[in-house]
Amino acid sequence: MKWYHSIIARISLIFALALLGIGAIFFSLFMHERETTLRSMHDYAHVAIRSAIEPQTRQLDLAKLEELGFKIVEDKALIRSILELPQPPRALPMRQMEERMRFRMDVMPYGMHMFAILHKKETPAMVIQLPYEKELFPRLLFPLLTFAFVIFLYIGILRSILPLKKLREEIKHFANGHYDITCKSSKKDEIAALANEFDAAVSKIKSLRDSRQLFLRNIMHELKTPITKGKLASEMIEDATYAKILQNVFKRQEALLEEFSRIEKLSADELKLDIKSYHIEDVVEFALDILDDKKEHITCKLIPTEMCVDFELFGVALKNLLDNGINYASDGKVYLENDQNTITISNHAPALEFSLERYAEPYFLEGKKQKSSRGLGFGLFITWHVIRLHGMKLEYTHEKGINHFRIVLKNA
């Protein structure tokens, strides 16, 4: 999943933009207050210094300034640092006032204080500390509280969303067939409600699965017992022909039970593969052995190829395709050939009435009025899902009266 699809990334971006916006607002307010304070102190210093000038001598009365709270700066290093600061521009009325007072004054902040610089033509510049001290705590308290509240809210939202990650992992385990999971939550938010509902659903599905497995296990056992007894009884019959017929019947019943078991596992998505490397000749031979008396209807043209498959399941899938091909072929013949990338099963028969995917659905033809009374049954259902589990594809084409079922290998 890309980062911009993540809810956490989006929330983080929103809060980052919010913090930047809040910071910009406070900075703007701070600069406005600074300019306002600077103008106020500039006006106040002008009035105070003007009142401290002796009318007769036009000299500055330092004692009177000190009474008003002004301090003459004696520290040469501090004076040098303040004088090196860029001087702010002065408006035209202020310059006219300075010309009448025969001095120029600049007011600027430095550190926690404000200083007035008096410039005269006859004497060096004088630096005076104004009766002002910046109070940081009251000014920083509200911005800090605002930032702390936003960060606390961000952390709280993340803590509420993080259980989604655990819930996602539990859902993945559940999808892979692991039912022994729990995702209960004692919280009261919507995500906790979702987790609790999912936990209840898992418990119900697990109970249904256990009941289904117990039912099927008992049914399979009850069905296999009479078949086994019948096979033993058929061995005691002296008539060889009649005994062979009974043995084939019981063998067919066993094959049907195995097929029903596979159908049930495929429906529950519980069928596990044992993938190994095999020669295609061995897999095809296994499929032909299952078909038994239908071998003579099949013509094989094989190229030696290595296949990574589940030997038994893939052989059953091939058997189903071959069996369907024989049943629906107009001449009763099926052709099987391969190359390095595909396995193709062909027969002379009419084209399918529906798409291949529809025939792969269980019970698709049940209760439908078809032009033909024959249906593909569960054979294609099993084949379709076994090939899907192998990561392969089953394709179908009809050309010049010939059906082609093509298995595209995953390494194609």
Query: Model confidence at 17, in pLDDT bands (50, 70, 90)?
Result: very high
Question: Which domain covers residue 402, as residue numbers?
Answer: 275-408
204 and 95 inside one domain: no
Is residue 183 in a domain?
A: no
pLDDT computed for residue 142 by the predictor: 87
Convert 357-369 into a string of H (helix), E (strand) and C (coil).
Answer: HHHCCCCCCCCCC
45 and 117 inside one domain: yes
Is residue 61 in a domain?
A: yes
Query: H/E element holding 283?
Result: helix 280-291
Convert 100-146 into a string of H (helix), E (strand) and C (coil).
Answer: HHCCEEEEEEECCEEEEEEECCCCCCEEEEEEEECCHHHHHHHHHHH
Query: Model confidence at 269, in pLDDT bands (50, 70, 90)?
Result: low
High-pLDDT (> 70) share of the chain, %: 85
Is residue 171 in a domain?
A: no
Is residue 147 in a domain?
A: no
Least confident segment among 48-62, 90-104, 301-315? 90-104
Is residue 367 in a domain?
A: yes
Model confidence, pTM: 0.50
pLDDT computed for residue 277 by the predictor: 92
- Does the pLDDT of residue 72 top 90, yes or no? no
Q: What is the dihedral of CA 258, 264, 268, 274, to 10 degrees?
A: 10
Is residue 185 in a domain?
A: no
53 and 86 inside one domain: yes
117 and 238 inside one domain: no
Q: What average pLDDT does this structure show over 63-85?
A: 83
In angstroms, rounded to a whole number, what is the distance separating the alpha carbons of residues 374 and 316?
21
Q: What's the number of domains the chain is made of?
A: 3
227 and 332 inside one domain: no
Q: How many CB atoms lie within 10 A of CB 103?
A: 20
Residue at a domain's end among 249, 267, 285:
267
Is residue 342 in a domain?
A: yes
Angle 205-209-212 (CA atoms, 0-180°, nearest 5)? 135
In angstroms, rounded to a whole number, what is the distance separating the alpha carbons of residues 48 and 60?
11
263 and 284 inside one domain: no
294 and 213 inside one domain: no
Q: What average pLDDT does this structure show over 372-398?
A: 74
In 3D space, the residue among 314, 312, 305, 288 whose CA is nearest the CA of residue 388 turns out to be: 314
251 and 306 inside one domain: no
In angstroms, rounded to a whole number, what is the distance separating the alpha carbons of residues 328 and 405?
13
Find tokens 């860029």 and name the residue.
Answer: 86
In 3D space, the residue among 138, 140, 156, 153 whose CA is nearest the CA of residue 18 turns out to be: 153
Q: What is the pLDDT of residues 181-213, one digit of tens each?
A: 888 888 888 888 888 888 888 888 888 877 877
* CATH number of the domain to which 370 belongs: 3.30.565.10
- Does the pLDDT of residue 292 top 80, yes or no? no
Q: What average pLDDT does this structure show over 119-139?
A: 76
Q: What is the pLDDT of residues 296-340, one digit of tens each?
A: 899 999 999 898 998 888 988 898 899 888 988 988 899 999 998
pLDDT computed for residue 282 by the predictor: 93
169 Cβ contact partners less than 8 Å away, ≥ 6 residues apart: none
